[in-house]
Amino acid sequence: MLLISRDGAALRLVPTRYQFGFGASHPGDWDANWLVVHGEVRTSSGGSWSFEDPCLTTWEAVELGQWLASAAAGAVVPTVSPDEQSEGVLSFTEPNLAFSVAEIDDLDLVVRVHLAFESASARLKVAHDLIDQFTYHVAVLTSRRELDSVAASWLEELESFPQR
């Protein structure tokens, strides 16, 4: 998945492998379904970093694709000051990624990509003793049409990593 903002900010997420190579002992086994995700982040001011972390389960990764498609369709409520309980915010078991919509109109929207802990830049980790899930975000201004394409692409990438 590659989200590129008109102001130069960007986020690339790629599921690379299951965290553990073994199959599930039973359907929905959490340990068998953790995905290692490679992320590349670029801010609008030119800062950049990457991370690689088992931060999504297979079902959370699918939920992300569905959320992106819903946001593109205008079905996600924009939030002013998002937190884990805010309507429309997508957060996961591991708190280092979350997504919210800041603004939306007929053609465009601004998606916030919240980055914390293993997904945050080294500079941010040093600047804050503990970054919570919503302390820092990269805003991505994109068209609703482009976001829908990104959602479809992400879901297609996940076909290589079915729930085990």
Domain ranges of the chain: 2-160
Q: Is the pTM of this model over 0.85?
A: yes
More confident residue, 133 or 159: 159
Q: Whose structure tokens read 């078991």?
A: 93
91 pLDDT tier (thresholds 50, 70, 90): very high
Query: Which architecture, in CATH terms, is 2-160?
Result: 2-Layer Sandwich (3.30)
Which residues in 13-37 are b (16+ Cβ under 10 Å) and which e?
A: bebeebbeeeeeeeeeeeebbbbbb
* Model pLDDT, residue 58: 97
CA nearest neighbour of 148 among 91, 71, 64, 35: 71
CA nearest neighbour of 11 among 41, 32, 51: 41
